[in-house]
Amino acid sequence: MADEQWGAAVRLLWGPEPSAKPARGPRRGLTLEAIARTGIGIADAEGLGAVSMQRVAGELGVTKMALYRYVPGKAELVALMVEAALPVPDASAASAGSAGSAGSAGSVEGGWREQLGVWARALYAGFRRHPWLLEATVGVRVMGPRELGWMERALSALDGCGLSGAEAMDAVVLVAGHVRGIAEQGRAAGVTADGDAGPDAQLAVMLGEVMRVRGEEFPALGAAMASVAEHGGHDEALEFGLDRILDGLGLLVARRVGGGSS
């Protein structure tokens, strides 16, 4: 059953690239990379809902039936797009500190914390660059080598920290969930570039007039907004939440490495 449901995507993502020839005429120069990049271009401009086999075929100048010789359906097309759109996991992050060889909680923390921080920010940048990835990377589905490489990179950072396999997996899910949540907020606010006003700044503008008239009913909110306006701090939720998550993991790592109870 699993092979019937996901076999085609597994073969496309993990196997050799298929070679298809039209029944008549010269061979068309289609590649899986070109197909994926065409889908990515459509999704970047118009959203994932605009991607279809017919649309991609038209952009490539071939018939939909010709495209089916390479990709059997939209699910497999989106899987190829995800694999091509995700940035390559930064190998330098894994070598920033050797968690497995550290001999104390402090040295272990320095390695894994830096690595997970780099990992989280790079993942966030990928979601900002291609917001449709947030929609395309949910649920049970086939993942390609690059996407699994992201999971491998994060889990490798926690190697030697004293966590069980389940705890390490949960830690990665926790960090990724925070990144996704902040990226979703930015997507909803239409943030697609570093220069765009983030959701916090947009919220402040939207609430400005309301707070001017009815601010006395919401004194805590008014005080927080006034503080942000005076001292800054707009749209720093990614770093704030990431630091708090890593702080909590640091306490657990310190107990495990130091031989304390869980």
Which residue blocks in the chain are alpha helix, DSSP H?
2-14, 32-46, 53-60, 64-68, 74-85, 91-94, 105-129, 133-136, 145-157, 165-188, 199-214, 219-231, 237-257
Better-scored residue on pLDDT, 53 or 88: 53
**Per-residue pLDDT, 207:** 72
**Per-residue pLDDT, 212:** 75
- Residue 183 has which token pair? 């990226």
**Per-residue pLDDT, 26:** 42
Q: What topology does CATH give the domain 91-198+235-257?
A: Tetracycline Repressor; domain 2 (1.10.357)
pLDDT above 50 for 27: no
**Per-residue pLDDT, 92:** 44
pLDDT above 60 for 100: no
**Which of the following CATH numbers is that of domain 2-85: 1.10.1380.10, 1.10.1200.10, 1.10.10.60, 3.50.50.100?**
1.10.10.60
Compute the average pLDDT of residues 215-227. 76
User: pLDDT-derived band of residue 230, with 50, 70 and 90 as boundaries?
Assistant: low
User: pLDDT-derived band of residue 139, with 50, 70 and 90 as boundaries?
Assistant: confident
**Per-residue pLDDT, 181:** 93
Residue linked to tokens 């490798």: 156
Which residue blocks in 189-236 are alpha helix, DSSP H?
199-214, 219-231
Better-scored residue on pLDDT, 28 or 68: 68
Write out pLDDT tens, residues 144-192.
999 999 999 999 999 999 999 999 999 999 999 999 999 998 887 665 5
**Per-residue pLDDT, 10:** 87
Break the chain into its structural domains and give their ranges.
Answer: 2-85, 91-198+235-257
Percent of the chain with pLDDT over 70: 74
**Per-residue pLDDT, 130:** 95
Q: What separation in angstroms does the CA of 122 have from each of 100, 104, 115, 190?
A: 23, 28, 11, 20
User: pLDDT-derived band of residue 96, with 50, 70 and 90 as boundaries?
Assistant: very low
- Average confidence score pLDDT of the chain: 81
Write out pLDDT tens, residues 108-117.
445 999 999 9
Alpha-carbon distance of 154 to 4, in angstroms, equals: 31
Alpha-carbon distance of 143 to 51, in angstroms, equals: 19
The CA-CA-CA angle for residues 151, 154, 157, to 5°, reads 145
